[in-house]
Structure 1
């Protein structure tokens, strides 16, 4: 017969066995409690977001390019005088000059002496010619009288021709000396800006040595490298917006396209005339865009597009108000709008701002963007 003490021990054993079974079941199904908690506390914090849909917008068609700014034409100004000493240099780099303006002078005492000598030789030859011409004239007059032999008359005529030739030679020497004297003055061949100077006072320079470089007319151009596939879309006269490094953007005009393509880069050069100004310099690097017109595109606010892992994404809001990350293809940009060329439907709603703080599956409360 069991005593009350035995009954109490049996009851305690049953209780311990039930507890052990409960623990075992809990270990076998560890998500049972969270599911119950989730069911009891559904959809707690929902972030309120503004959404937007694809909207049509008129965007410019542009071809981007990079290139360097260079002189339209650069004239090399040298010396034609040989062996003269440079006496004075009147201009420096950056100076604007006019056609015919004096740039430098050489010492010309030697040339002036040679010119004086050649002029004296001309005078002497002229006098000799006058005497020879007079003798020849007398011989022609006396030819029929027999006072002079035929040989003597022939000698007078020959002396006249020789004197005339010596006069022509003396005059040629005089012109050469005059040219050498003129070459002692170096003048600008055209209007423009001095871009380089190698002239040094006191130097004795040979003929043909460079003294200055001149940007003709002060004109600059942008030599843009354009992909071969885009060259067919460009036409002379199109507007080009150029942004030089460290300077303000300027507007230029496409003047011409290069007739050949670089065999290594597969790019062609587009020559763009630049407006006059003090901010552009030859040798500067610049980026630019050729304006081809405009076309309609489907766009989103730029804040709605995220760059993740090298691709563009948007946070699309599903029918259950949960976030779905969607990869999209982007195109042109204008102001605060960006073109979407693929990955979205016109009915899709995407988070317009603050998308970087959201992830897949997040629950949100939707506030439509004003005007949508």
Structure 2
């Protein structure tokens, strides 16, 4: 009887286990499609903004090196011989005006020579007066037979000789007066004293250099330009010069050298520096300077600089495909202005590229595009920012 009663309980337990197994199987079958849906596709590597190349007007600039020199340097020397320098009135760096006294020689000897010349003139004038009187008497007696023709001729000759001696004495006085003027060494023009060799007490000879002066205080930049680039520069071209001490100077091309150095094929271009005399622009003669010639503007395709990535010495951008995958594209870059860089080769104007975060991507990565327009950001048109090196052709890579 006990065995017969236990069978319904076993059946109930077995049925419960079957129902529990079926429920578990149904639940597991519902969860598997959801997991498959979550892992069906790869996740994007990055969320990015895109941009298209913009058409911009960029400056064409030619870079060159050179030295800042004086426009003209006057050498002021002694015009007297054997005189002692009694006074030196200026020093290096002083600004002087035309005619200003720079130094004085001791003039006692010259004053004595002038007095002697004046005395010789008085003597010559007295002799001339006597000779003129004798010649006048001879003229009155001519034809009377009181004087021979030879005597009359001698009186006439003496008169002419006396006149010549008077003229010579006057010239001597003028020469000594000129020496008196040369006792004072004066500036031939406005300018700045750049060198001084004059020393009080020194006895200078004729032609001895006493001072050097930068005429008008004007400086110029002598740029070294290769013969291949020389044809791109014309007189009047605007130039920006950056001196070694950081001074920025504006200038214009004044002259282009008519010859090219046969050794290095370089010609000099002379640039007048417009604000070289400003106290706020302390450029000095002899400084090294780098400058850029402004050769106008030209159209270019540009991208933001952060869109261009440099890897292994080459420049790349990441072009976004229609399915959100990026392709690494090698490009050749050119001029740079503000945050824009010129694209010379490797990209079409309608391409869509990653605008930022490109440095974190690899070729073939999947990205999520945050902006949908992909329109180009406006490029700056103000061309006041210094570009990169121009590769001697107006472009850089």
Q: Do these two structures clear the TM 0.5 threshold for a shared fold by scoring above it? A: yes
CA drift of 1:87 comes to 1.2
**Greater alpha carbon shift after TM alignment, 349-358 vs 182-191:** 349-358
Unaligned runs of 5+ in 1: 1-38
SS, match of residue 315 in structure 2? strand
Looking at structure 1, the residues matched to 194 and 318 of structure 2 have their Cα atoms a distance apart, in angstroms, of: 55
Match of 1:254 in 2: 253
| Contact persistence 2:301–2:342 (CA under 8 A) | yes
Match of 2:236 in 1: 237
1:329-340 equivalences under 5 Å are 329-340=332-343
Looking at structure 2, the residues matched to 164 and 176 of structure 1 have their Cα atoms a distance apart, in angstroms, of: 19
Rate the CA distance shift 1:358–1:203 in 2: closer, same or farther, 3 A.
Answer: farther
CA drift of 1:42 comes to 5.8
Q: Indicate the RMSD between aligned Cα atoms, in angstroms.
A: 2.3
Asked if residue 314 in structure 1 is aligned to residue 313 in structure 2, the reply is no
Looking at structure 1, the residues matched to 310 and 191 of structure 2 have their Cα atoms a distance apart, in angstroms, of: 49
Looking at structure 1, the residues matched to 160 and 328 of structure 2 have their Cα atoms a distance apart, in angstroms, of: 105
**Greater alpha carbon shift after TM alignment, 50-59 vs 310-319:** 310-319
Looking at structure 2, the residues matched to 370 and 285 of structure 1 have their Cα atoms a distance apart, in angstroms, of: 46
Match of 2:184 in 1: 185
Match of 2:203 in 1: 204
Match of 2:50 in 1: 51
Looking at structure 2, the residues matched to 206 and 312 of structure 1 have their Cα atoms a distance apart, in angstroms, of: 68
CA drift of 1:299 comes to 0.3
Looking at structure 2, the residues matched to 46 and 72 of structure 1 have their Cα atoms a distance apart, in angstroms, of: 62
CA drift of 1:319 comes to 4.5
Equivalent residues, number: 334
Equivalent in 348, 352, 370 of residue 349 of structure 1: 352
| Contact persistence 2:319–2:326 (CA under 8 A) | yes
CA drift of 1:301 comes to 0.8
CA drift of 1:318 comes to 4.2
CA drift of 1:145 comes to 2.6
Rate the CA distance shift 1:85–1:356 in 2: closer, same or farther, 3 A.
Answer: farther
Cα deviation, 1:223-250, whole Å, max 9, x if unaligned, reads: 1122323222222122222222223423
SS, match of residue 69 in structure 2? strand
**Greater alpha carbon shift after TM alignment, 155-164 vs 348-357:** 348-357
SS, match of residue 182 in structure 1? helix
Looking at structure 2, the residues matched to 210 and 129 of structure 1 have their Cα atoms a distance apart, in angstroms, of: 43
SS, match of residue 230 in structure 1? helix
CA drift of 1:354 comes to 3.3
Unaligned runs of 5+ in 2: 1-37, 377-397
| Contact persistence 2:64–2:290 (CA under 8 A) | yes
Looking at structure 1, the residues matched to 60 and 304 of structure 2 have their Cα atoms a distance apart, in angstroms, of: 19
Equivalent in 323, 327, 330 of residue 327 of structure 1: 330
CA drift of 1:80 comes to 0.9
Looking at structure 1, the residues matched to 363 and 374 of structure 2 have their Cα atoms a distance apart, in angstroms, of: 25
Looking at structure 2, the residues matched to 100 and 308 of structure 1 have their Cα atoms a distance apart, in angstroms, of: 66
Match of 1:295 in 2: 298
CA drift of 1:117 comes to 0.6
CA drift of 1:167 comes to 1.8
CA drift of 1:178 comes to 1.5
Match of 1:213 in 2: 212
Looking at structure 1, the residues matched to 269 and 356 of structure 2 have their Cα atoms a distance apart, in angstroms, of: 40
| Contact persistence 2:51–2:375 (CA under 8 A) | no
CA drift of 1:322 comes to 4.2
CA drift of 1:320 comes to 4.8
1:11-50 equivalences under 5 Å are 43-44=42-43, 46-50=45-49
Match of 1:107 in 2: 106
